[in-house]
Structure 1
Amino acid sequence: MNRTTPPRPVDIAAVFPQLAPLARPAIRLHPRPGSPTPHDSSVGGPLLWPADEPWPHCEESHDQMNDLYEAYEVYADEDYEWQDGPNPLVPVAQLYVRDVPVLRPPGQADVLQVLWCPFEHEPDNKPPTALFWRSSTEVADTLTAPPSPFAVEYDGYIPRPCVLAPEQITEYPNLMDLSKELQQQLGDWNNWQAVAGAVDSSRAPHPDSYYGSELSVAPGWKAGGWPRWGLTDPISCFCTTCDARMVPLLQIASCEWDGSNTGWVPYEDRELMSVDDPDVANPPKVQISRSNRLQLYVCPQSPDHPHTDLIQ
């Protein structure tokens, strides 16, 4: 399975050379429903988890969330019975470095595993995440039946198993990450005249929004690249261990595309754009805090330092 992002309609770095040194590689993950194995990169799939290693749990108390049971659609099996205490984490993504080379693993590690508690926690109202790096060659026996969470806040925090079609692209900063001078230049239609034939003249009143939606940051699940902003202005994250400025690791998205960025829809999915089905643009069926994105950040000095995350 391949997914191919159409070339950007404008070589934006040729029109605005100041952007060239700001280019970053990103890997679009393109999760699509499938049957991944522990030896595959996946979203919501089984993890290559050692049989003799304890499964991670959320250690925060969930007793206050029992009051929300009737207000939310809670996932449970026939034997469901509310219980306080540690809640087993849910697999969100497993990424092998062979598939996602923008990752920066420590030592001999070659696989990143991302899990979360399927409840939004205060004060930021987002699911707390846990990252694990490991070497696939050191896992002899794999855990075949990891524990399930005793409940989740709603189904959007249980990703549907998806295989991936990683694709490397080039991204440029979100408009709000640029200097005021460059923002003004991007907002002046006169500066776009060299490529006016390639850009619909209807973009003339707001060419900077065209840059933001179609030429800079890709939507959907991705590793590396630049972050999208919207709920807030750009937020700089700093490592709590060494104070280094943290860099984007992974974007967990509530949709692969929407009406504002259809230019990013892969060729292979073009015929699906007219289908009236929300799952078409959201194969993993993940919903992050009212259809937002969860951005994970890591320290560039050491993958062993604590990560952080933001909702956007």
Structure 2
Amino acid sequence: MSFTTPPRPVDIATVFPQLAPMARTATRLHPRPGSPSTHDSSVGGPPLWPADEPWPYCDGPHVPDGNPATSPQDVRLQRRIRAEAASRPPGHPRFTPEEAAILERIDAGRPWTKSPVAMLPVAQLYVRDIPLLRPPGRADLLQVLWCPFDHPPEPKPRTALFWRSAAAVTDVLTTPPEPAVVQFGGYVPEPCLLDPEQTSEYPNRMELTKELREQMQDWNTWQAAGAAPDSSYEPAPEEFYGNVLSIAPGWKVGGWTRWGLTDPVPRICPACGAELDPLLTIASSEWDESTRSWIPYEEQAHATPSIANPHPATPAETEIAGGYDLQLYACPASPDHPHTGLIQ
């Protein structure tokens, strides 16, 4: 299925012409559960990994947080059981005795590990599908993996990026190693196919000048431009800009940063001092109550949780830092320079 973001209800660059040169293109990935192959762009799908290339492991540290760990296999089994239970008619027991016993075992968890941890595939992006990517040399494929444990200083997975030429991979690793345990089920992405779609974004209002922010806070400015939002935004019209007009939610390539957990801070390459560019946003959800206007046309009739579809906004089943996003940044000068990540 193709997904289409509804046009924004206001041309914000007409209301505030200062924003026009700040527009950036972002590619919304729209991950949705499916059965991707190694030749598909995907989230959580099988990577096109050379059979003769060592699989990456994380040496840690993996510090116990007091909670039981689980395994990728048990995360997937738990999801299947809960999905099966949700599909049963009303009046049936929620879980069979066998399912209840399995869920109890999974909830009990597994011991943490001090051994190196096999990294998990997070995203595989072909340039043919996402031309916004800027690959080095002859590369046409970006692969993103992470260690499914939090690493300081922020509670986020450690990530690794791999650029490669798909044509050069002639012998594919069919069964990549998996970690024995993961810290959270939300660090095991559900396999998803992608339907990339380009959209325009504008900066988070915290990145705007004080003068422009003050104009956005003035209801009369919006009314004078004939672009006043509905009355619910009258006490704080700048929130209309933040929720509806500026930054798309969900998984995406490029675009602007959704600041809020912290104030805007420059992201600087430690190797050359260049300012890093947003590369990939790994999202905990595709929308929330404040960003429902970004729900694709094709999903608006099914965007409210139901028994059959209890989590329509979280198709990839990822959850980062309790529901935030992880945005990866890359150096525009060289893909060989270290990348960095930021929770927002």
Aligning the two structures, in what range does the TM-score lie when normalised by the shorter sequence?
Answer: over 0.9
**TM-score, scaled to structure 1:** 0.94
Match of 1:211 in 2: 241
Q: Displacement, 1:98?
A: 1.0
RMSD across aligned C-alpha pairs, in angstroms?
1.6
Q: How does 1:240-279 map to 2 (within 5 A)?
A: 240-276=270-306, 278-279=310-311
Any idea what the Cα deviations from partners look like across 1:97-149, whole Å, max 9, x if unmatched? Answer: 11111111111111100000000112212100000000111111110000010
Match of 1:10 in 2: 10
From 177, 181, 195, the equivalent of 2:207 is 177
Q: Provide closer, same or farther for how the CA distance between residues 82 and 126 of structure 1 changes in structure 2, counting only shifts above 3 A.
A: closer
Q: How does 1:191-230 map to 2 (within 5 A)?
A: 191-196=221-226, 199-230=229-260
Q: Displacement, 1:307?
A: 0.2
Match of 1:90 in 2: 120
**TM-score, scaled to structure 2:** 0.86
Match of 2:33 in 1: 33
Q: How does 1:79-118 map to 2 (within 5 A)?
A: 83-118=113-148
In structure 2, distance between residues paired with 1:83 and 1:199: 52
Contact 2:61 2:151 in 1 (8 A): no
In structure 2, distance between residues paired with 1:202 and 1:256: 23
From 235, 249, 252, the equivalent of 2:265 is 235
Percentage of identical aligned residues: 60
In structure 2, distance between residues paired with 1:73 and 1:125: 15
Q: Displacement, 1:193?
A: 1.9
In structure 2, distance between residues paired with 1:201 and 1:123: 42
Match of 2:70 in 1: 74
Match of 2:316 in 1: 284
Unpaired stretches in structure 2, ≥5 consecutive residues: 75-109
Any idea what the Cα deviations from partners look like across 1:271-301, whole Å, max 9, x if unmatched? Answer: 1222245521000100001011001001111
For the pair 1:50 / 2:82, whether they are aligned, the reply is no
For the pair 1:127 / 2:157, whether they are aligned, the reply is yes
Unpaired stretches in structure 1, ≥5 consecutive residues: none
AA partner of residue 322 (structure 2) = R
Q: Displacement, 1:226?
A: 0.3
Match of 1:298 in 2: 330
Any idea what the Cα deviations from partners look like across 1:33-52, whole Å, max 9, x if unmatched? Answer: 00000100000000010010
Q: Rg bigger for which structure?
A: 2
AA partner of residue 298 (structure 1) = A
Any idea what the Cα deviations from partners look like across 1:71-105, whole Å, max 9, x if unmatched? Answer: 23512659x77643210000000011111111111
Equivalenced residue count is: 307
In structure 1, distance between residues paired with 2:343 and 2:209: 23
Match of 2:81 in 1: none
In structure 2, distance between residues paired with 1:76 and 1:25: 35
